[in-house]
Amino acid sequence: MAAPTRANVLTRVLVRVLALNIAVACAKLTLGYATGAISIISDGFHSLTDGASNVMGIVAMRAARKPPDEDHPYGHRKYETLAAAGIFVFLLLVVIEVLQGALSRLRGGVVPDVTPASFVVMLVTLGVNLLVVRYESERGRALTSELLLADAAHTRSDVLTSCAVLVSLAGVRLGYPQLDAIGGLVIAVFIAHTGIRIGRDASSVLSDRVVMNEDDIRRVVMGVPEVKGCHRIRTRGSADHTFLDLHVWFRGDTTLYEAHRLSHVVKDRLMGQYPHIADAIIHIEPPPDAIGNAEC
């Protein structure tokens, strides 16, 4: 039996996490509407976006695992980044929903019905979220997947919001019902912070921000004795799927055949040192007249 591909492994992780997130969201929303606690309802919607982002991730992985084709010569991996950006959009919608609910509760003054069962449900769902964060973070680092790491960050914010809900419920239980609405506002801040971070990371990939340190690349290139220098080092893509191009200098009397062979030596060393490089394009050049003044 063939070993599962990276995309298949990622999809399995997302399906498992989706099942847990849906269960957590249903538990919170059922409890929230039963007790009238806006903080629990807000947290339930937050958990529901965890599940929605998992669905988006599963759909994106089906596209991302396609090999390069005529229309997409660089492959389809940016669909994974688009899914991470989609998580940002979901978080933005949740922030709006949470703010509306919290502000409405501050004006309405309705006192939620907080029972011991409320604390039990929130503590159980909190434990499930902690397991999800740990599992998804470990798999994300092992697979160098920006999607899993972004989704884990999303769920991590859910852990923080659940803690805020527990504090607000304790306050309501002690006779401070306004803490329920304040807890909802705190949740909105947590969600917004996570969304900004995820959106920033996704935009870095989509805008072709530099991925690798030039000095690290230069160190490998200059390890080939025949190389006289290098410049115009450019990288783009994601941390696990990087495209590199650079200019490498060889002696002016080097034959085209030899320079071509040496360029493949440089490429092989780079891709061997950094397996996440999907492709490296090397431009062959003779060294400039004034090497001492040139960038290398």
Q: What is the pLDDT of residues 53-103, one digit of tens each?
A: 787 778 777 766 677 778 777 777 777 777 777 778 877 887 887 788 778
Q: Where in the chain is the domain with CATH 1.20.1510.10?
A: 6-206
- Residues spanned by CATH 3.30.70.1350 within the chain? 214-293
Indicate if the pLDDT at residue 2 is higher than 70: no
Return d(Cα 56, Cα 60) in angstroms, integer.
6
Q: At what angle do helices 256-273 and 214-221 cross, to 10 degrees?
A: 130
Contact 205, 173 (CB under 8 A): no
Domain 6-206 part of CATH 1.10.150.120: no
Helices and strands: H and E segment counts in the chain = 8, 3
User: Residues 143, 176: contact at Cβ < 8 Å?
Assistant: no
* Residues 290, 296: Cα–Cα separation, whole Å: 12
Q: State percent of the chain over pLDDT 90.
A: 22
> Domain 214-293 falls in which CATH fold?
Alpha-Beta Plaits (3.30.70)
User: What is the overall mean pLDDT for the chain?
Assistant: 82
Q: pTM for the full model? A: 0.62
201, two tokens: 């990371």
Q: Are 112 and 19 in contact (CB under 8 A)?
A: no
